[in-house]
Structure 1
Amino acid sequence: MTDLFEHQAQQQAAAPPTRRRSAATKRAAAKRRRRRQQRTAVVLVVVLGVVGAGGYLLWDRLDDMVGDLPFIGSQAEDYPGPGDAPVEVEIPEGATGAQMGAALVEADVVASTAAFNEAFGANPAAAGIQPGTYQLLTQMKASDAVAALVKNEKIQTDVTIPEGYSVDQIVERVGSVTTIPAEDLQAALKKPNSFGLPKQAGGNAEGWLFPKTYTVQPGDDATSLLTKMVEQTKTELSDLGVPKDAWHDTLTKASIVEKEAPDGYQGEVARVIQNRLDRGSPLGMDAIDAYGRGKPADQITVDEFNDSEFPYASREQIGLPPTPISNPGTASVEAVISPPQGEWMWYVTVNLDTGETKFTDSYSEFEQFKSEYQAWAAENS
């Protein structure tokens, strides 16, 4: 009943920065860190000596004195540049300026996060730095490192496609994260043979673009990326033992499960779908109508729900919709392949916070579940 996957996509945490360095570069960086630690130790000895000599010293006085001590100044530690050995640094999706600085310090590109933060704040274009893997140099001046990043000349970019995304959402995400324009993807989608879309898809890529993290290399284009996505879907279906002639229907069912089922209830929802199909009943699932109409279910009118001429009118049409309604992940496909046994025909998510969902083969019990949800909604509105 609810689309949990948009929420999951927003909660994804940025991956920790990675780097690739030679052994010599690592040894040099370690020496520099030891020198900085030694300088810090000397300062601490001096400060502690001052405190020990005058136990009455207040912290505000200590702050004033530390500011005047040798080795401590307001200027951030920075390399003079222009740089030394090539090094690859990954800027994760969603990284802040501070996280970028930490990644560059770890890779010994800049001398300190403070220097990077100052340079980041001074460069108006810094907010436009995109996620991806960049080739920089060790021991760069911080301002030069920021200037290199704002060019967005990435070696590669990772783009994550969440389960349940539609083709339109995938196009938007790829276009915003990678160097492949959304317009190129839209043009490529009109040529399904160019990226290996099976004939049973009917020229529509919905459901066939497998959700996972893809690496986009320089030179990759819309067609090559779409090809990777379709091939991954074929691989998943084959590995799960789905016969080729059942691929389209399996993806269509799984796409409904992906949009309708709260986490943990994929199998039960898959069983309800199959039971309704077996009994010749309309699927009657709002996610189908919402996909077809291109708007949320609560904005669909009664006349639209009851339009028997509309192929995605799930209250009127018998059988599956003409296409999948999202791009499902492995868990939803597995649920369709092996749903649990049960006579369920209806279900209601009675608590949207916990996702608790109840299933029944009794319409009167279904009405009770609806009342239970309405009571929860009234208490939590």
Structure 2
Amino acid sequence: MTDLFEHPALRQAESPPPSRSRSSASRRAKAKRRRRRRQRTAVVMVVVLGLVGAGGYLLWDRLGDLAGDLPFLGSQAEDYPGPGGEPVQVVIPEGATGGQMATVLAEADVVASAEAFTQAFGENPAAAGIQPGTYQLLSQMKASDAVAALVKNEKVQTDVTIPEGYTVEQIVDRVASVTPITREELEAALDKPKKIGLPKSADGDAEGWLFPKTYSVQPGDGAVDLLSAMVKQTKTELQDAGVPESDWESTLIEASLVEREGKHDEDRPKIARAIENRLDSDMPLQIDASVAYGLGISGTELTRDDTRDPENPYNTYVHEGLPPGPIANPGAASIEATAAPADGDWLFWVTVNLESGETKFASTFGEHQQNVEELRAWEEENGY
């Protein structure tokens, strides 16, 4: 059989190889053409990327944080397999984007990475409905499970405790710091006294009417709900103490003085009686806490000039009778003490031990001066 292919030796004989110079020139020409093609491609890529970059910047500038909510196409973000470990409470801030939520959850170790949550957020159509508030999730959850849990909007009940003697300003600070209710929402509600249940005698001022105790803020509760509950509780306490509605405001004014002056509940009925005795005797009350309230300072900042200032309507050194309004929000013990003072002829009281709160009462100025000397001796001994 004859071979179908020519023998290599015959091909070489019939087609002699090109010379070295022609071969080198050909290779140089091909290389030059390749370089030109690469240069043209690079120029085109630079132009395209520049256009994309400029457009991308404008788009990013317009969309802002929304861009953080889009899934990272084609990337494999670090994620936990789930289902999760220990319970973790997280707070979703007002107006948070998916990217901001991702940061909160990643820092709390609820999800393995912000990227994993952001991807899961973008893939869940209901994620845009997640509400601000406190949620109980689990540590090390799968990101998609975390999104699904937040989508349910089953927020955790928050308890907020208001101590006796807090002012409205202090109450606003406390509520805003531990609940999803903001300071702005609280102040807006306080500007609508009828909506929160304040009686006409309060003259639109909630001071004294926000009863101090622990309140449970349920999911969905707002500022009006919480403040209304506080006012309602104050009315209940006044009714339970047998105070007629016509005396509610004056009782709260006196009770607020008792609250700020008394250190122990057993002393409060005596302080209430001493206040009543002074009022009956047309004596100025001379209560530092009231003067300080009117100036917006603490009692420790008071000066002698402050107690002589007639411009301060809460200055009980120069103005006889009760101050124009409560100076704090009194608790049940102070309201009860004011409604039913102890029997006695006391006109003076002074705390003689600032650590234990021991308070002594006197019927005469001479007795009172002896008690004041006892306080001075205690202060000197204890470096006050």
Question: What's the TM-score bracket when you normalise by the shorter of the two chains?
Answer: 0.5 to 0.7
- 2:154–2:219 Cα contact (<8 Å) kept: no
Counterparts of 2:224 and 2:242 in 1: how far apart (Å)? 27
2:303 counterpart residue number: 301
**Superposition deviation, residue 298 in structure 1:** 3.1
Deviations 1:340-371 (A, max 9, x none): 11110111111112211110011011111111
Count of matched residue pairs: 268
Return closer, same or farther for 1:303/1:123 CA change in 2, 3 Å cut-off. farther
Once the two structures are superposed, residues 57-94 of structure 1 have per-residue CA deviations (whole angstroms, 9 ceiling, x without a partner) of xxxxxxxxxxxxxxxxxxxxxx962259xx9x796xxx
Post-superposition CA distance 1:305-355 (Å, at most 9, x none)? 112232111101111101101001101111111111111011111111221
Residues in 2 aligned to 1:156 and 1:209: alpha-carbon distance in whole angstroms? 20
The structural deviation recorded for 1:155 is 2.6
In structure 2, what is the equivalent of residue 185 of structure 1? 186
1:265 match: secondary structure: helix
1:230 CA displacement: 0.6
Letter of the 2:83 partner, please give it: P
Which residue is equivalent to 1:14?
none
Q: What is the rounded CA distance, in whole Å, between the counterparts of 2:296 and 2:252 in structure 1?
A: 20
Pair 324,244 (structure 1): closer, same or farther in 2 beyond 3 Å: same
> Structure 2: which amino acid aligns with 1:199?
K
Find the aligned partners of 1:141 and 1:297 in 2 and give their Cα distance.
Answer: 50
Using structure 1 for the length normalisation, give the TM-score.
0.63
Matched, 1:323 2:360: no
Q: Which residue of 2 aligns with 1:282?
A: 284
In structure 1, distance between residues paired with 2:88 and 2:292? 38
Match of 2:369 in 1: 367
What's the CA shift for 1:223? 1.3
Quote the offset at 1:119 in angstroms.
4.8
> What SS does structure 2 have at the residue aligned with 1:214?
strand
2:240 matched to which residue of 1? 239
CA distance in 2, matches of 1:181, 1:141: 30
Q: 1:150-165 alignment to 2 at 5 Å? A: 154-165=155-166
- Partner residue of 2:27? none
Q: What SS does structure 1 have at the residue aligned with 2:194? A: helix
Distance 2:134 2:181 in 1: 15
What is the root-mean-square deviation of aligned Cα atoms in Å? 3.4
Structure 1, residues 142-199: CA drift from partner, whole Å, max 9, x if none? 797xx89xx8973321111111100000000000000010111112111111111000
- Percent identity (aligned): 54
- Structure ID, larger Rg: 2
Indicate conservation of the 8 Å contact 1:119/1:143, yes or no: no
Query: Cα deviations across residues 120-141 of structure 1 (Å, max 9, x unaligned)?
Result: 9x999xxxxxxx974446xx64
Does the residue aligned with 1:194 lie in a helix, a strand or coil?
coil
Question: For the residues of structure 2 that align with 1:318 and 1:372, how far apart are their CA atoms?
Answer: 28
Give the corresponding residue for 1:262.
Answer: 263
1-side partners of 2:343 and 2:175: how far apart? 39
Contact 1:178/1:216, CA 8 A, preserved across alignment: yes
Q: Which amino acid aligns with 1:366?
A: H
Match in the other structure for 2:29: none
Secondary structure at the aligned position of 2:377 is classed as helix
2:175 matched residue in structure 1: 174
Contact 1:90 1:133 in 2 (8 A): no
Measured after TM superposition, the shift of residue 274 of structure 1 is 0.7
Contact 2:267 2:359 in 1 (8 A): yes
- Please report how far the alpha carbon of residue 297 of structure 1 lies from its aligned counterpart in structure 2 after TM superposition: 2.4
State the SS of the aligned residue for 2:195.
Answer: helix
Which residues of 2 match residues 314-353 of structure 1 at below 5 A? 314-353=316-355
Distance 1:323 1:205 in 2: 10
